[in-house]
Amino acid sequence: MNTEVLIVGAGPTGLTLANDLLLTGVSTVLADKRAHRSDLSKAGGVQSRTLAALDQRGLLEPLLATGNHPLTTAHFAGIQLPLARRRLPWRSIPQVVIEGFFEQHLAAQGIHVQREHDLVGLEQDEDGVTATFANGSTVRSRYLVAADGGHSRVRSLVRDEFPGRAGTVTVVAADVRLSGVGESMTHTWGEDGHWAHLFPLGTDPQGRPLRRLAFGGPGQLLPREAPVTEGEIRDALRVVFGSRVQLLELRYARRITNAARQAAHYRHRRVFLAGDAAHVHLPLGAQGMNTGMQDALNLGWKLGAAVRGWAPETLLDSHHAERHPAGAAVLRNVQAQGLLMDWEGTRDPAVTATRELFTAMAQLPQAQNHLADLMSGMAIRYPMVRRTPLKGSSVPKFRNCRTPPLYL
């Protein structure tokens, strides 16, 4: 064996898993086909469930020390959920910052990402997995984890089904500096069904505010590979906001679709799927990144237990039993949000009326708390024996108790 666990893909899911396996003492190889770490930030926030897990592992404080990462407000379909800010805090931490922090933390422990390793072959037997890469190298491991994204080569090699809905519209997501906008999040309609969505993304090293901008509208069917230009962004801002909002700096941008798919099986003998390799959807509320990181945090200790020999045979099966329903729930809420936000720009009166009614209902504390639980990952409850109302949930904040909530 070259290693005990091979992780294919060094995005947030793979890096989270590698860092978690450090705690178990399990040897790990992390391989990625890219020559360099991506500078694209697919997500801009870390949910309270993920924050709590990182805190338990001693990683939260050093992560927050990497820059200005303010608390932010959760939203559902662009509708702000202010009650969640104190009860279930989020942090504005761009994905590029998270990846850089995790990779540096691994390097400090002697684990370096093996770059330019494009997986081309995979074989399993009773003892392990043999992975073959395009550069001619092979890695033999006891277990392999696919964290190689929505177009996962691993998922294709194990011939897993990836059912769901193909994308019907393409929208642009960009990290920008703007003038003429306030601090709050906004979802604004322009002419002829064009729209733009803005929310705070912390600050750059000079202390200047950054924002995530998403925009779209009728006829937005450009291929995902088509480059996003500054002119395209300026035109979109003008259509939606007029002349009051101006582009100061474009940091990076990409096109995304509303495709929604989920792998049929998260385990294939000694191969496991996690992150975008297991589920893809619109990246609303950073749920894609956070769900992938939580996949990794769920799987890491189980792989450690299996390698160390004290895991029952059913423990590794629980990765699918626990995380597949969690991923399915995210796909459902994201598709509901996409409908309420009218990503295709139809301006259907029925959709407009539904959004207005939903916005009013979302101001009710009980409804707002429920939506915040969905968006933060705190609504996830794994199957349990003799389940009780509190079992598997966060410890409630008791009156006159100043300690922060714990997560069971």
Strand pairing partners for 31? 8, 114
pLDDT of residue 407: 40
Angle at which helices 287-308 and 12-24 cross, to 10°: 30
Structure token digits, residue 220? 């937005």
Length of the chain: 408
| Range list for CATH 3.30.70.2450 in the chain | 170-257
| Token pair 């992390």: residue | 30
Helix ranges, 132-284 (H): 153-157, 230-241
Q: Are 241 and 228 in contact (CB under 8 A)?
A: no
Structure token digits, residue 338? 């996409």
pLDDT of residue 401: 54
Q: Are 73 and 90 in contact (CB under 8 A)?
A: yes
Amino acid at 79: I
Strand pairing partners for 188? 196
Structure token digits, residue 112? 């370096």
Angle at which helices 349-361 and 313-341 cross, to 10°: 120
* Cα gap 294→292, rounded to integer Å: 5
* Cα gap 328→366, rounded to integer Å: 23
| Dihedral over Cα of 22, 298, 159, 277: its sign | negative
| Token pair 């929310």: residue | 199
Closest by CA position to 50, among listed 10, 9, 103, 89: 89
pLDDT of residue 306: 96
C-alpha distances (whole Å) from 309 to each of 27, 129, 218, 300, 324 are 15, 18, 56, 14, 25
If DSSP codes are grouped into helix, strand and coil, which group holds residue 34? coil
The 10s digit of each residue's pLDDT in 384-408 is 766 666 666 666 555 555 554 444 3
Query: pTM here?
Result: 0.90
Q: Are 282 and 164 in contact (CB under 8 A)?
A: no
CATH number attached to the domain at 170-257 = 3.30.70.2450
Q: Which residues contact 112 (CB under 8 A, 6 or more apart)?
A: 30, 106
CATH number attached to the domain at 3-165+260-330 = 3.50.50.60
pLDDT (tens, 9 = 90+) of the chain, 408 residues, equals 799 999 999 999 999 999 999 999 999 999 999 999 877 667 778 988 999 999 999 999 999 999 888 887 778 888 888 887 767 778 888 888 999 999 999 999 999 999 999 999 999 999 999 999 999 999 999 999 999 999 999 999 999 999 999 888 888 989 899 998 876 667 787 767 788 888 877 777 788 888 889 888 776 677 888 899 999 999 999 988 888 899 999 988 889 888 999 999 999 999 999 999 999 998 888 899 999 999 999 999 999 999 999 998 799 999 999 999 999 999 999 999 988 888 777 778 898 899 999 999 998 999 998 998 888 888 888 877 666 666 666 665 555 555 544 443
Cβ neighbours of 404 (radius 10 Å): 12
pLDDT of residue 109: 93
Structure token digits, residue 134? 């395009």
pLDDT of residue 389: 64
Closest by CA position to 228, among listed 40, 380, 6, 21: 40
| Range list for CATH 3.50.50.60 in the chain | 3-165+260-330
